[in-house]
Amino acid sequence: MTARPTERPPASPAGIRADSWHARSPEDTLARLGTTREGLPRGEALERLDRYGPNRLTPPRRRGPVRRFLVQFHNVLIYVLLLSAVTTAALAHWVDTGVILGVVMANAVIGFLQEGKAERALDAIRDLLSPRAVAVRNGQRTTLPAEQLVPGDVVLLQSGDRVPADLRLLKVHNLTIDEAALTGESMPVRKGTEAVAERAALADRPDMAYSGTMVRYGQGRGVVVATGDSTELGRISTLLAEVNPLTTPLLREMGRFGRVLSLAIGGLAAALFSFGVLVRGYSAVEMFMAAVGLAVAAIPEGLPAIITITLAVGVQTMAARRAIVRRLPAVETLGSVTVICSDKTGTLTRNEMTVASVAESGRTFGVTGDGYDPHGGVTLDGTEVDAASHPGLTEIIRAGLLCNDAGLYRDDGGRWAVDGDPTEGALVTLARKAGLDPVLESEERPRQDLIPFESEHRFMATLHHDHFGHAFVYLKGAPERVLAMCSHQRHGGEDVPLDSAYWHAHAEGLAAQGQRVLALAFGAMTPDHGELRFADVEEGLTLLGLVGMMDPPRSEAIEAVHECRQAGIRVKMITGDHAVTARAVGERLGIGDGVRTRTGDELDALDDAGLRGDVRAVDVFARVSPEHKLRLVEALQSDGEVVAMTGDGVNDAPALKRADVGVAMGVKGTEVAKEAAEMVLADDNFASITAAVREGRTVYDNIKKSILFILPTNGGEALTILAAVLLGRELPITPVQILWVNMITAVTLGLALAFEASEPGVMRRPPREPGASLLSAFMIARIVLVSLAAVAVTFGLFLWERVHGTEVEEARTLAVNTLVLVEAFYLFSTRRIRDPIRGPRDLLGNGYVLAAAGTVAGGQLLFTYAPFMQYLFGTRPLSWESWGQSVAAAALVFLLVEISKHLRGRDNAGQNGSSVSGVT
């Protein structure tokens, strides 16, 4: 694929290579690309898409299926098994050889399929995060998937964007780009539009913006010169680094645990071999097989695969609940989150702004109507008035309309919606309610320049000219910020000295009703003024008035905050809005005590120790800048909290990275924020964070359940072999039978737990202790209890049968079936870690468990009755009576576990005075 349209190059300065775009003027570049500053016509763009292909990098080659399958054999245990297969073959024990090889193959196939499923789940998630770009086509802004960009497209950039393709810049406004991804240079680069020398190195081309780099500040417009693999990024293809590895701290911990366990078991098997041969007089062949049996029995080989699947299932469930996990370890961390720091606007509130009041000096107007629908009007003392007959009011509304980048449109359902910032959308709606026509207004007072809104400076200003030779600035922003820039106020058409105290009080009054308040100001400029700088608006402006807008809390956020509280998680609101507004909104959401708030300025005055005390007591932080977020995260973490933090802007990235779980907004979030985050919320909704926490806890529970389930199976089998050899008895289960139980039935059953839904009380218990070992004393006690019980019934029944003269094959068949039934019954019990099984729902609620149990039951019938299985595994048919004994024994173990849960539950209730079980 080539993305360089050089087929019919127009005349150009001699000697410049076709792809040296940085050495060409913007006009030359546009001409050579067959486009204009107004972008490509839509049809042409589609044609070029066909010609050049989509704007994406060819993904790195994956391990092919054959290699993936072979990797399944790369495992110490499998090597041991293959060695035993060779040994048994050398001894001409062909049946055993066949069984061992069969089980090894079956194990590899199961592993291969599971891994494939996990990888597919994660791939699907990655696709959800594909970036979007803003292009100009036919002179109109359109947001489209970055993949659809073609050479010749004109693209708009703003702070937080990831540059979607290689661009020759046409226009910049303070554009600063971080090119570390490409050049390794960590200092962001200031961009311009002047062509540079052809031999300039990549890092010295300020007139270019390269795909994959990040816009840190400012705005820009550029024309696409290369897409996909033809971009500079494509040439060095760093995509490899992006591949999300299928591993997490927990998996690594399990891996280490597994290796230590394998070594210990290897030693034990060797000791057993020597003991059996030397002391008990078994034959070397028999003992070799027993030692291999022990190794297979004791090593939980299915566990890593089950944990991986559990994580992948969790990630999928979270994605269905609109929380997209970018880094797998976040799934585990989510379960231990103790504090969620959330933005207000759009996350806790709906971000559907509606202007409710407009205040000019001396009087306050009301505004009627709902949402962005421009039907509605302006009222004074409850009666509708004509805005046109109140020039002061009209001027406030006009300022709001022109100092504005948003537009209104009707969505597919006919509902009015905003294209752009909702705060600004509300002002457009207001203007239309007041009878101002956006198109006409901007034609009469065209915009010449602007200072865009940034959370740091909390205002936006635009420079306009009218057709009578006047130049002036409209400015809107946070009231205290704007008041500090004003020396006068508009009153009855006159500019009079500013009464700052009056306006501050008025703004607080609106904020106390939960309204977001903006102040609007005007400043006359000299007619030749062409560029707007900060210095132009720092002082001497005239305040026009205030606008108050409502942004109702999301109802599901109110519930989610309540749920968090029950789950022992504190929710803190961190907002750029005014303290009084924040407090009022917090009260409606159940965040904070309705009294205490902290502002960014107050935080600045605190040292780290003071801040730590503060973050413990205060839940509402207002007028906070992104830098404060980083300090807040650090203070909370040094206080031992596990912090989830939301963010959307470029400057939120450090806080997101620092937080234990950084959460970026999928809709209004910048690409920079998304890349820094562990998780992205597809709907920007706080409730989705809570859902993810719930799922994180569930995943962790399910992993614990798998361990609780699998380890006793291994323990029981290993103990059975050990006991038999030590006591000098026949093995109640032969090595090949152990292979069957361990590598086929246990894995089939255990996997069902990956699909276990949340336990009912999962959000009514405190967060898991971070760093607490997975194998707590409680877990170990349970594992030992069940292992011993399994040995007792399996070995017990075997001995009983043998004593009563049953032949050894039949007694073994009974022992194996008993062990598998114990597993199956115990699986149902493991559905609840601590709570006893109370009813049919607890027992039968998971279809996967039922299906797994059914499959294994069928397998056991085959194992017992099918002639070929009898031949392979040395089994015999069982009588009804024997089945009865098996089922009774398995039920006994089930009861034992349930009784132990009851007893512990009573202990806990006695200690805590509550029946809610804690977490280990």
Contacts to ligand ATP by CB under 6 A: 343-345, 421, 423-424, 453, 455, 458-460, 476-478, 516, 518, 575-578
Q: Could you tell me the two tokens for 68?
A: 């993936």
Query: Which CB, 476 or 832, lies closer to ligand ATP?
Result: 476
**CA angle at 765 for the pair 763 and 768, rounded to the nearest 5°:** 100
Give the strand pairing for 661-665 and 643-647.
parallel
**Listed residue (754, 760, 705) closest to 567, CA to CA:** 760
Give the strand pairing for 541-550 and 516-525.
antiparallel
Distance CA 902, CA 835 (A): 8
Q: What is the DSSP letter of 741?
A: I
Q: Which residue has the tokens 């960009």?
A: 149
Query: Which CB, 266 or 600, lies closer to ligand ATP?
Result: 600
Distance CA 565, CA 918 (A): 15
Compute CA 645 distance to the chain's CA centroid, rounded to the nearest angstrom: 12
Query: Which CB, 428 or 815, lies closer to ligand ATP?
Result: 428
Distance CA 558, CA 686 (A): 9
Burial 55-87 (b: 16+ CB within 10 A, else e): bbbeeeeeeeeeeebeebeebebbebbeebbeb
Query: Which CB, 665 or 738, lies closer to ligand ATP?
Result: 665
Query: Which CB, 312 or 406, lies closer to ligand ATP?
Result: 406
Q: Which residue has the tokens 């024990």?
A: 93
| Beta-bridge partner residues of 662 | 645
User: What is the DSSP code string of 94-161?
Assistant: HHHHHHHHHHHHHHHHHHHHHHHHHHHHHHHHHHHT--EEEEEETTEEEEEEGGG--TT-EEEEETTP
* 421: annotated active-site residue: no
Query: Which CB, 424 or 678, lies closer to ligand ATP?
Result: 424
Q: Which residue has the tokens 């708030």?
A: 597
Query: Which CB, 254 or 624, lies closer to ligand ATP?
Result: 624
Contact 463, 529 (CB under 8 A): yes
User: From its phi and psi, is residue 883 left (phi > 0), alpha (psi between -120 and 50) or beta?
Assistant: alpha
Q: What is the 3-state secondary structure (H, E, C) of 235-297?
A: HHCCHHHHCCCCCCHHHHHHHHHHHHHHHHHHHHHHHHHHHHHHHCCCCHHHHHHHHHHHHHH
Distance CA 775, CA 772 (A): 9
- Number of Cβ within 10 Å of residue 574's Cβ equals 27
Distance CA 673, CA 695 (A): 23
Q: Could you tell me the two tokens for 455?
A: 């959370």
Q: Spot the catalytic one: 96, 178, 343, 648.
A: 343
Smallest distance, Å, CB 426 to ligand ATP?
A: 10
Distance CA 54, CA 386 (A): 53
- The amino acid present at 353, given as its one-letter code, is M
**Listed residue (704, 697, 833, 835) closest to 758, CA to CA:** 697
Query: Which CB, 170 or 473, lies closer to ligand ATP?
Result: 473
Query: Which CB, 365 or 459, lies closer to ligand ATP?
Result: 459
Q: What is the DSSP letter of 203?
A: G
Residues 6+ apart with CB under 8 A from 37: 30, 136, 154, 170, 221
Q: Which residue is nearest to ligand ATP (CB)?
A: 576
Query: Which CB, 654 or 761, lies closer to ligand ATP?
Result: 654
With residues binned 3-state (H G I as helix, E B as strand, rest as coil), the percentages for the chain, rounded to 5, are 50, 15, 30
User: What is the DSSP code string of 308-339?
Assistant: HHHHHHHHHHHHHTTEEESSTHHHHHHTT--E
In terms of C-beta density within 10 A (0-12 exposed, 13-18 middle, 19 or more buried), how is residue 414 classed?
exposed
Phi, psi of 889 (to 5 degrees): -65, -45
Active site residues: 343
